[in-house]
């Protein structure tokens, strides 16, 4: 199904030429990669999460603050860093409630990365930069979700960053929704058990 490609609130790109919602599946490595128009991100999350075996975990990766980076980065060539927070042991109703409460904020924000995974099967859904998604798990099961959403299966699809250049850059920004940003999520969920698991250098 051909559709226009829409950007989420926290993503800007000057050149969308050739970019469409698409996915590819690597059966041998058990992964599915995709780039999705804005209106498909939350429906994908809602459908794909339901395919995970309970119990599941929720995670969010947030860029470190400027103050943190001053101590973490030793020189200008070092990468930037993300704080990684986890909420373990979620039932499916809890996972669905998290998406109902924070889904719009998560998918519209341009700087965070987030996802869900199964403690039992090891399958994982990861929403990444510039509206890309990676799923690790049963490729047939998860490919069916993309098919149901009308996403084309294209082995060498074009991502947003494929068109980035000095003249046509891409930009990500923090989004505020109903007075909250993604930085409020770990604090809000701390009483439920969300914790800082690691600080990672950006690849």
pLDDT digits (tens, 9 = 90+) for 42-84: 999 999 999 999 999 999 999 876 667 666 666 766 666 789 9
| Paired sense of beta strands 152-153 and 22-26, if any | parallel
Band (203; pLDDT cuts 50, 70, 90)? low
pLDDT digits (tens, 9 = 90+) for 138-181: 999 999 999 999 999 999 999 998 888 888 888 999 999 999 99
pLDDT for the residue numbered 168: 83
What is the average per-residue pLDDT within 130-144? 97
Residue 202 in this model has a pLDDT that exceeds 70 = yes
Please state, in angstroms and rounded to a whole number, the distance separating the CA atoms of residues 157 and 121. Answer: 28
pLDDT for the residue numbered 1: 42
* DSSP class of 142: H
DSSP H stretches of helix in the chain: 38-49, 66-72, 92-108, 139-148, 184-189
What is the average per-residue pLDDT within 187-201? 92
Q: Which long-range contacts (CB under 8 A, 24 or more apart) does 94-102 make?
A: 95/49, 95/52, 95/56, 95/58, 96/46, 96/49, 96/50, 98/58, 99/42, 99/45, 99/46, 99/49, 102/185
Sequence spans of domains, the chain: 11-201
- Are the beta carbons of 168 and 14 closer than 8 angstroms? yes
User: Edge to edge, what strands does the sheet with 132-136 contain?
Assistant: 152-153, 22-26, 31-35, 132-136, 124-127, 113-118, 56-63, 81-90, 195-201
| Paired sense of beta strands 56-63 and 113-118, if any | antiparallel
pTM (predicted TM-score): 0.91
């Amino acid at each position: 199904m051909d559709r226009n490609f829409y950007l989420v609130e926290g993503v800007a790109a000057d050149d969308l030429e050739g970019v469409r919602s698409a996915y590819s599946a690597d059966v041998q490595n058990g992964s599915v990669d995709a780039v999705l128009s804005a209106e498909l991100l939350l429906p994908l999350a809602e459908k794909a999460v339901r395919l995970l075996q309970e119990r599941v975990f929720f995670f969010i990766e947030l860029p470190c603050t400027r103050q943190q980076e001053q101590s973490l980065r030793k020189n200008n060539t070092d990468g930037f860093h993300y704080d990684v927070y986890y909420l373990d042991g979620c039932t499916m109703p809890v996972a669905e409630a998290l998406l109902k409460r924070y889904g719009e904020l998560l998918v519209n924000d341009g700087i965070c990365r987030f996802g869900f995974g199964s403690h039992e099967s090891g399958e994982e859904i990861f929403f990444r930069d510039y509206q890309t998604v990676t799923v690790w798990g049963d490729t047939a099961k998860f490919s069916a979700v993309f098919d149901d959403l009308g996403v084309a299966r294209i082995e060498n699809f074009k991502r947003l960053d494929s068109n980035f250049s000095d003249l046509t850059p891409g930009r990500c920004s923090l989004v505020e929704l109903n007075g909250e940003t993604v930085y409020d999520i770990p604090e809000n969920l701390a009483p439920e058990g969300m914790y800082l698991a690691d600080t990672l250098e950006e690849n």
